[in-house]
Structure 1
Amino acid sequence: MSSAIDVRGLHKSYGDKAVLGGIDLHVAEGTIFSLLGPNGAGKTTVVHILSTLATADAGEIRVAGHDLHADPEAVRAAIGVTGQFSAVDGLLTGRENLIMMADLHHLGRREARRRAEELLAQFDLAEAGTRPAMTYSGGMRRRLDLAMTLVGSPRIIFLDEPTTGLDPRSRHTVWQLIRQLVADGVTVFLTTQYLEEADQLADRIAVLDVGRLVAQGTAEELKRLVPGGHIRLRFTSPEEFALAGRVLPTALPDNESLVLQLPNDGSVHSLRALLSRIDDASLEVDELTVHTPDLDDVFFAVTGQRTAHETEPQNEGASK
């Protein structure tokens, strides 16, 4: 696939502090790429550099086919940025916010109004378009912020933690909007505090830790990096539990809860083999559950830290 973003050997320091220690990234056109990492890992710095809001100390960077160092204006014309903090003006109506953004893109008056109405409808804000943005809910403000990013019809959108602070319903609404953008051919570069968000949306994921990429791949590829998949068998009868322990001697028993835990990769083949052994021994299993590593496990394994949503969020810096 054609490249939307290519990065090789990206370095960035602030004074004596190295923030990015030489990273390589490839983002294919028309896909969602998610950058994960603990607070302070350098995610926002990457977004700032790729969107021309900060300069790199070293590295080769191409965005939308343009050399970022040689032609930053061409890069700016091809991208949109939605940061951690909303760019919405609360005193203006939703429509006025969009028209103001259209003016910044040098659209004519008629085209600005047409584009504003189009985006209000697309983001389900048509009825609220005449109200001041300060009256919007958090989810509505975030949708308006995203709509403002799209006024110039960018080919690539940088979304820096776009759903932080939103309730689950609003978060899912933003996810649907992101999926639709990609279906329309837009490339999305996403940083997020939520592991589930990356799992749900991203075609490829990279994990950044202390300024270095420690893992890259699809969600499924990353999950396979982590051992620990298992199957839990729960019994109601102590006799059945004891018999199962003899039939499955490698299982780890929990005598108190009458549970056996067996290492298992969750594949159909291994699950079928286990069920055959249970059936052959005529075991009466009350409950069977399968656990495979998720992105939380991957995050902890490759960074040595708890997932971002298990700690109090701390912003890395302003994104606008």
Structure 2
Amino acid sequence: MEEVERELPPGLSEDYPLAASQIEAYARDGHILLRGVASEEEVAAYEPLLSELVRRGNRHDKPVEQRDTYGKAFIQVGNLWEKSAAAARFTLARRFAKIAAELMGVDGVRLYHDQALYKEPGGGHTPWHQDQIYWPLDTDKTITLWMPLVPIPETVGSMTFASGSHRNGLIDKTVISDESHRTLAQYIEGKGFPQKTYGAMRPGDATFHAGWTVHSAPGNPTDLMRKVMTIIYAADGVRIAEPDSNARRADLATWLPGLAPGDVAASRLNPLLYSRKSEAP
């Protein structure tokens, strides 16, 4: 584990209370914005450490304008939690995991993986897509936390979600690309799904969205880096599905090492982060 910190930031274990109406809204829409999931002071303690790991892990070697659509969308660095004790405190935080479990209505959640998604100044849009086309998991109980580490102005904004699209499951297997953007935009229009974006966000605000929720993100016309950390969770006990695409075969090898279709998704990279049963008196 590479260390980029001398003192560990404070833990993130305290409860973030959810209202029944928020859990119902997530089930209905497949996404929700929660303000202040972490305080700005907490995020400020982690941001420099996470950003240093992103700097080290950035593999782009061309200017933004010379990359393809996917490359223009963001700098993407995964499994930061394995590289730093501080990053592990963030990714494995009980506070975040408990929210994920309660929104999905499950007893516990495991980590699928984390990834930083930093959109550079002048970075392009993120095309419409469904996250779960990449994940060889036999469930619809998956969820992603998306948290900015810096203020995000309305001109950059949160992601845009097609509300209710998660209830239709797999729509198209096309990976994030110009093709996925065209295909899913037509699908959204044809089905009449309402589109929702949450606008400006503060550090520590977070959106949560289901694995099948169709979503996109605008480009970054500002001169500031859009720094976002994401954490993907799956319900405890979920089994691995037979991978039916190259993307899912790659994910199986990367995020579920040593496991095979039919196994419980619980490799060494998928620790149990929250369990209601284990906390019961």
Could you say which structure has the higher strand fraction? Answer: 1
Structure with greater contact order relative to length (CA < 8 Å, sep ≥ 6): 2
TM-score range relative to shorter protein: under 0.3
